[in-house]
Amino acid sequence: MNRNDLLIEADELMEKMGSDNLRIFDASIVEDIYEMGHIPGSVYFDHTRFSDPNSPYEVTISPEALLAEQIGNAGISNDTEVVLYAPGMLPYAIRAWWVLWYAGHRNVRVLNGGLDAWKNAGGQIETEKHSYAPATFKANFTPSMFVTKEDVLSALNDENAVVVNVMPPLSYEGKHITGSVCVSSMDLMIGMDALKPNDQLALQLQETAQKNRIITYCGGGIAATVNAAAHLITGHANVAVYDGSLYEWLAEGLPSEGTGKWEIWKQAA
């Protein structure tokens, strides 16, 4: 995978505007942000729509059949070109990308720089809400992109694997999976809207990239996708997200350590 498989720049998106095949989604965590102003014609990407309705944990991936159905209901077909962004919160856009890529959609990218990059390139914004007509989507899942708590427990005992907490160091110190290491997703981004250049990403990820298998986690499976995607575009294919992350791990009473100040990471899932 290369950088262009994950990211699209604002000037390229502007050239594509007006295409009947283009679907743009604002993947903000709450719809209020979308309603405050968005790229013209874009639609709100409701993360709960693509999450397991029966899970006790937030934003865990939906069962395969339901996920494929919801992707189609959102107006995405296999031939659709999809662009995602989330103002001031790149991890939510990358989480949406991770979900669609997992389901087999290969023409999906994240707007690098988000809404600010769009406006800086001369793009307009609007407040009118939109939706896309339902489409048919045939999924081709990549199950290895997500792992379970059992997979994490196994990886902790595998010298060729590494389990990575992507929260800031203070959050890691507050609570983390015993045996995991910390590589903050904040160190991979410029602000909260753009990914750093590949050479800088590779430098930040050089230690974890030495392992054959990489599993990333955070509070609730969102920020973890930043590190996972960054590994993919810098040449490491064997990477997965622990979807339950700390919400599930702590609720299940699995081995953890830290100061116990879990509140410092809870809001940055």
Global pTM value? 0.96
Single-letter residue type at 17: M
- Nearest C-alpha neighbor of 17 from the set 133, 132, 130, 123: 123
Q: What is the mean pLDDT of residues 162-188?
A: 96
pLDDT at 58: 84
Q: What is the pLDDT of residues 85-112, one digit of tens each?
A: 999 999 999 999 999 999 999 999 999 9
CA atoms within 13 A on the CB side of 54: 3
Q: What is the mean pLDDT of residues 18-39?
A: 96
Domain spans, the chain: 3-141, 144-266
pLDDT above 70 (res 154): yes
Q: Are 25 and 84 in contact (CB under 8 A)?
A: yes
pLDDT above 90 (res 20): yes
Q: Could you give the CA distance from residue 104 to residue 141 in angstroms, rounded to a whole number?
A: 5
Query: Higher model confidence: residue 53 or residue 269?
Result: 53
Instruction: Please state the CATH superfamily assignment of the domain spanning residues 3-141 in this structure.
Output: Rhodanese-like domain (3.40.250.10)
pLDDT at 205: 98
Single-letter residue type at 224: A
- Adjacency order of strands within the sheet including 181-182: 146-147, 239-242, 213-217, 161-165, 181-182
pLDDT above 70 (res 113): yes
CATH 2.40.160.40 given to domain 144-266 = no
pLDDT at 211: 97
Q: Give me the residues paired with residue 82 across strands.
A: 23, 108
Rounded mean pLDDT of the chain? Answer: 95
Q: How many CB atoms lie within 10 A of CB 78?
A: 16
Same topology, domains 3-141 and 144-266? Answer is: yes
Q: Give me the residues paired with residue 256 across strands.
A: 177
- Nearest C-alpha neighbor of 26 from the set 66, 85, 67: 85
Q: Could you give the CA distance from residue 113 to residue 208 in angstroms, rounded to a whole number?
A: 26
Percent of all residues in the chain with a pLDDT value above 70, rounded to a whole number: 97
- 163: its two tokens: 């389990």
**pLDDT category of residue 262 using cuts at 50, 70 and 90:** low
Q: What is the mean pLDDT of residues 190-202?
A: 96
